[in-house]
Amino acid sequence: MRMLTFLKLGGSLITDKRGDQSYRAEIMARTAAEIAQAYTPPLLIGHGSGSFGHVVAQRYGTAQGVRTAHEWRGFAEVSLVARRLNSLVLEALSAAGLPVIGFQPSASARCADGQLLSMESELIGRALSHGLVPLVHGDVAFDEVRGGTILSTEAIFVYLAERLQPKRILLLGEAEGVYGADRQIIARITPQNFPEIAAALGGSSGADVTGGMAAKVQAMLALAQRVAGLQIQIMGGSEPGQVAAALRGDLTFGTCIAAQ
């Protein structure tokens, strides 16, 4: 298999996280067109839940656990709105000409106290081998300790990366990268400088039950140390041309997450 890339379309990019189920159709259509323009297989795409899943999950406290009938109703509602956004993204990518196929994480994911233990990966690998573009997304998941929880796209990427061994992970969002205390983009984050910048990392400007930027950086930093030769870039996707440039190998903007 040639150089595998994981690409995340952040919820802050494709939705307005300050609203409720506010889908940015024009941005998604442009982003899909750029992906199709620069697409070289193999490619796996994931997307966040943004103002769809996060708003409902926050209302029911789904990430903390699902035990009562009311909370299980919320679990089902989060699943519903996550699928709703996923359908919109799937349609946009397909309309742009990409051979995309959806994989619903909650159909196979199993967690324990918020940590992903297992989910289907063999069939995703098979889809990649046939030149298809698997699409995953932030979702609910059954949890052995909490009953149910929220599974972030980053957690899915971490799990799949250890099994599929991508060479690049591109995380696109509304922000142009990771900002330091001086509001300047940090060019590179490693285990050596992370303690100095950790305090400056914030959460999200809208509803986000998966921890925001701080959690994202920590997860990717740990992954970079476990998967040899992995390039991870946190970057913006709002400016026309950025997505296509990144897929073609231009990683001169945004923040690089590296093992050293």
Q: Show binding-site residues for ATP.
A: 8-12, 212, 216
Compute the Cα dihedral for 27, 28, 29, 31 and give only its sign: positive
Cα–chain-centroid distance for residue 64? 20
Q: Which residues belong to the annotated binding site for substrate?
A: 49-50, 54, 153
Question: CA distances (Å), 18 to each of 31, 49, 123, 206, in order?
Answer: 21, 12, 35, 5
Mapping DSSP to helix (H, G, I), strand (E, B) and coil, where does residue 107 land?
helix
* CB within 8 Å of 193: residues ≥ 6 apart: none
Question: CA distances (Å), 68 to each of 14, 18, 71, in order?
Answer: 32, 28, 5
Strand spans (E) along 86-240:
100-102, 110-112, 115-118, 133-137, 139-143, 147-151, 168-173, 188-189, 231-236
Q: How is residue 185 written in tokens?
A: 């983009």
Q: Which residues belong to the annotated binding site?
A: 8-12, 49-50, 54, 153, 212, 216
Strand spans (E) along 83-202:
100-102, 110-112, 115-118, 133-137, 139-143, 147-151, 168-173, 188-189
Report which DSSP code applies to 36.
H
In angstroms, the CA 260 to CA 182 distance is: 23
β-bridge mates for residue 9, sequence order: 47, 172
